[in-house]
Structure 1
């Protein structure tokens, strides 16, 4: 990872994807591609625009701020050992901006970031469809102001942003069923009564 001004450069070649497909395979693995998968692939596909990362939860937000966050959701993409990412996060929190944070640490995360932003630099922020690459306090302030976010925090003291999650989440397969050998032993069955004697079809006892 290289540090250049307010940007952490991860690696890899630039990609200028215009349409990104989020593909969930049969095994639950999520991948991103600028090409739709074959129809017979068996995976679940969701098309989205580059930079779309979801909005922070609006529960507990003041009405006006909830309206702004719903219309112009903020998503921050960060990485480990990235000082500008910490500065970007601190700026959003100090200003009281509700945001969703996506971490970019694995090779799959980096590949997905390239497809979303056309670059491999962090921090990366989206305000609805607007993309901001590299941290600049003045530039970020300008765009947040244009979106209508208040200059000073109006968040209630109890509000907490959602926990940061990886950009690419790989689902683990469901646990295998318990083997029959480990099943509880069956209760012994009571033997059936013997049929009545042929010589005494009525079963009468004397």
Structure 2
């Protein structure tokens, strides 16, 4: 069991109301304990057309992209928009590359405007759609055409999910998407952080 922290409570909307906080006993014994050094993790992408088709960004580095998408329910949070804005601040997206941004909700959109994130994204060349699902389910604003490649932060990359059935969808973090649209290809975002 992973014990929830304050960030988890804030994200889930738990406000101290009527709920039972589950914690491990101080002297609990576990069948297995896994420890990881997160500093050794490399950025990854889910390659077309299955979320389990995962490779490192390094392995896919240089792969041309036509479009980036940051948003929807999975990565349209305020912190996601902030990460993208920090990478794109003072820079322009690559020629012939689009960036579509769709905040997850109206309140996130309003806060992102207030904090200046939306302005930074637009200045870099992004197109900002109204909050909601948007491009994630291929319904509006930036639908991907056959033959195009998109790198996106949404949660699915099945054939035809974001438009044309002959398009390719890579899934990645907001940082990886922001870095990719700067260069028009998949790149390691750590050089921009």
Q: Which TM class, normalised by the smaller chain length?
A: under 0.3
Q: Which has the larger share of strand?
A: 1
TM-score normalized by the length of structure 1:
0.25
Q: Which has the larger share of helix?
A: 2
Structure exhibiting the larger radius of gyration computed from Cα positions: 1
TM-score normalized by the length of structure 2:
0.27
